Amino acid sequence: MKGIEVKQITKRYGKKVILNGIGFELEPNKIYGLLGRNGAGKSTLLNIMTDRVSADDGEIRLDGVDIQDNDQQLGNMYLMSEVDLYPKAAKVSQIFKWTAQLYNGFDMELAMKLAQKFDLDVKAQFSKLSTGYRTIMKLIIALSVQVEFIFLDEPVLGLDANHRDLFYKELVQSYSDNPRTFVISTHLIEEVAQLIEHVLVIDQGRLIIDDETEDILKNAYMISGAEEEVDQYVDGLNVIGSDKLASLKASYVFGELDNRVIPDRVSIDKMDLQTLFINLTNGGQNNE
Ligand SMILES: Nc1ncnc2c1ncn2[C@@H]1O[C@H](COP(=O)(O)OP(=O)(O)OP(=O)(O)O)[C@@H](O)[C@H]1O
């Protein structure tokens, strides 16, 4: 198979099972969203996929070949994470140069252009940059390395709204100029909902969603109105949660609605990705 296969990955820390037999595939040239609550194991999974952390069980294959200790395969992947791996005194421009030596296809012209757009001073020392600008430098590198698989772990950490907006635009531009696969792990679901083509959700060690964004949202509904009528309407449907305000209720349904008659005082709207995520990962508790 072309792409990455994640096969039955299990990871424990002490007695705690963080990832429990996770399996999915990443196709070439697609933007994935990797979602999960705090501590769900997203960073651990990305670290395993890039051979920075070893799994207790399972295997990662790129184009059919195991990536473990395989520099050639690992050279096709880049992980941008919160961890700062650079020497304290290093300047941004030096870090760009080192990265270019490590990754053949590094696009220095793009990196310098992006630095200008984001107002990043390439003569500054990395350790003296603000939190947001450290992220910006790492993002610029991630967009400029031009490898086949790019993993972005919390890519907008510390970025203000304008910089986040600029980053999403530059990501789309870079993706259309040079299609490759991105996996974006983030908590800002609504901001990336338009970008991601495929959604992966990890919850309690398991992969609970692995589907195209469009297909997921096609079957995600918010049924709202008078409580009694809402309850009556959703009876027998796959209700994943609900919210209540006085006598009004909103029930969240994930799955097909049949041809049942919609009562007058009930309205049906599409659920957004963030609402769906919250309801799927709140441990079965209603939000009432
Ligand atoms: N080196 C480690 N030793 C022990 N436990 C660890 C280690 N690294 C991660 N963990 C634990 O594994 C779990 C998953 O952590 P991870 O950072 O992968 O989650 P995450 O989904 O990225 O979370 P967040 O969204 O909060 O960043 C957490 O309970 C964390 O405490």
Q: In this structure, are residues 167 and 155 in contact, taking their beta carbons and an 8 Å threshold?
A: yes
Q: What is the DSSP letter of 127?
A: G
Q: How far is the CA of 164 from the centre of ligand 1 (A)?
A: 25
Does the beta carbon of 38 lie inside 6 Å of ligand 1?
A: yes
Position 261 scores a pLDDT of 87
Residues in the chain: 288
Ligand 1, from 12, 13, 152, 189: best to mutate by most atoms within 8 Å of Cβ?
13
Asked if pLDDT for residue 285 goes beyond 90, the answer is no
For 46-70, the pLDDT digits (tens) are: 999 999 999 999 999 999 999 999 9
Asked if pLDDT for residue 284 goes beyond 90, the answer is no
Strands (E) located in the chain: 4-13, 16-26, 31-35, 57-62, 65-66, 77-80, 149-153, 181-185, 198-203, 206-212, 220-226, 239-245, 248-254, 266-270
Q: Which atom of ligand 1 is nearest to the CA of 41?
A: 18
Q: How far is the CA of 32 from the centre of ligand 1 (A)?
A: 20
State the ipTM, two decimals: 0.97
CA-closest residue to ligand 1 atom 17: 43
Q: Which atom of ligand 1 is nearest to the CA of 153?
A: 22
Position 288 scores a pLDDT of 52
Helix 92-102 with 131-144: angle, nearest 10 deg:
30
Ligand 1, from 10, 18, 153, 207: best to mutate by most atoms within 8 Å of Cβ?
18
For 116-159, the pLDDT digits (tens) are: 999 999 999 999 999 999 999 999 999 999 899 999 999 998 99
Q: How far is the CA of 128 from the centre of ligand 1 (A)?
A: 27
Q: How far is the CA of 210 from the centre of ligand 1 (A)?
A: 21
Q: How far is the CA of 38 from the centre of ligand 1 (A)?
A: 8
Nearest to 5 by CA among 71, 73, 56: 73
pTM score, two decimals? 0.94
Cα–Cα dist 59/177, whole Å: 32
Higher pLDDT, 94 or 258: 94
Position 146 scores a pLDDT of 87
For 187-240, the pLDDT digits (tens) are: 999 999 999 999 999 999 999 999 999 999 999 999 999 999 999 999 999 999
Does the beta carbon of 39 lie inside 6 Å of ligand 1?
A: yes
Cα–Cα dist 229/210, whole Å: 33
Does the beta carbon of 205 lie inside 6 Å of ligand 1?
A: no
- Say if residue 261 is exposed, middle or buried (CB neighbours under 10 Å; 0-12, 13-18, 19+): exposed
Cα–Cα dist 223/220, whole Å: 10
Q: In this structure, are residues 89 and 128 in contact, taking their beta carbons and an 8 Å threshold?
A: no
Does the beta carbon of 2 lie inside 6 Å of ligand 1?
A: no
Q: In this structure, are residues 3 and 181 in contact, taking their beta carbons and an 8 Å threshold?
A: yes
Higher pLDDT, 9 or 105: 9
Position 287 scores a pLDDT of 52
